[in-house]
Amino acid sequence: MEQINELLEEEQTPVNNRVLIASYLKDKNLTGKINDSGLESDWTYLERKEDEVDNLFNFLTLKPAINQAMEEEHGLIIGVEPSIERIALAVRKYKKGAFMVLNSHQVAAILLKIWMDSGKYENLICVKSIHTSDLIEYMAIKSGLNCFNEIIEPGELKEAVREVQKTAENEPICGFNIDQQVFHTDLEFSDIIISIAQKELELRESGLTLFDYLLEIYQEFGFYKEKTITVDISSKTQKSHLLSIMDKIRKNPKYLESIFPLNTITDYRKGSKVSIMTDKVNSFPGSKENVLKMESTNNLSVTFAPTESKMTYYISIKGGVTSKEKYADKNKEMDEEILKVIQMLNRGNL
């Protein structure tokens, strides 16, 4: 019934051509550049909460903007935090349907595809956090681009890109971090915002939205689903147990074959990526961070990233092609697959 209602809404007056931009603070410089570009936009300012971790954009923080956009019939919401070049998107599944807030992985995929499709950035290089979706790396490699997976702390994307730029001074470089940061060496922050809005307007002329564009990406490169799980390891017993799992994987990854058939193990502390099938080792500059990633033969990966008090698991799974109508069911199915992995990790069955 919901899908029928949404389809009926398609026949009504379309949403207006103005984009709603949501920000925590006013930025006169950015506002001026957006206005000078000719982009039809409205601005709304969100309440910044002191106790909210880094004020990441999510459904709750964007809810006031979503309410306004529904009332005023905006087709797209762009959350922006200019001080650290952070972007979030809330898009409509159907032109007159409810808003869906995209995660940082989905925003990264949309931006990378826009830049690849533009034909403007020959030899584009992609720099991504190791915790950003494997989809980004796959898109880059399949399209013949170089992709660097880096350990990038929150707020440090630009510095990571600049490091790569030292050995690729004349090449355009884009970057994505798990904390919603985006960057492009050839573009100002305002240019990135405008390019997103222009793509939405272009799609709307064909009766589509950025959600359709995301589905096209999934259809071309595979449907990826990601989940971040954080476990408290302030207990010495819990901490010792979880760290010992990482040590076991490093020493003898093949012991997991019966429950987690491995393809590769990437040890960022040692700077090595080992193929379980061939024992081939690819080396890269190591890090002081104790981060370990294991990838299975069935399109599943788990990254272990412990700190002094927490263990964070970044889980990614790749599924088959999905349609707009089946997206919710496929999304739920992949959530259930990830839940099985989480339960296995929680039980310590590794």
pLDDT band at 15 (very low <50, low <70, confident <90, very high): confident
Q: What is the pLDDT of residue 189?
A: 97
Query: Structure tokens of 248?
Result: 């076991």
Predicted confidence (pLDDT) at residue 345 exceeds the cutoff of 90: no
What is the model's pTM? 0.89
Q: Are 306 and 312 in contact (CB under 8 A)?
A: yes
CA dihedral (180, 210, 141, 117) positive or negative: negative
Q: What is the pLDDT of residues 165-212, one digit of tens each?
A: 999 888 999 999 999 999 999 999 999 999 999 999 999 988 899 999
Predicted confidence (pLDDT) at residue 53 exceeds the cutoff of 70: no
Query: Structure tokens of 280?
Result: 């081939």
First to last CA, the chain: 44
Question: Longest Cα pair distance anywhere in the chain, in angstroms?
Answer: 62
Q: HSE-up of 101 (CA within 13 Å, CB side)?
A: 20
Q: What is the pLDDT of residues 303-338, one digit of tens each?
A: 999 888 888 889 999 987 667 888 888 888 888 888
As a whole number, mean pLDDT of residues 39-61 equals 82
- The rounded distance, in Å, linking the Cα atoms of 52 and 336 is 28
Query: Structure tokens of 162?
Result: 């600049």
pLDDT band at 262 (very low <50, low <70, confident <90, very high): confident
Predicted confidence (pLDDT) at residue 96 exceeds the cutoff of 60: yes
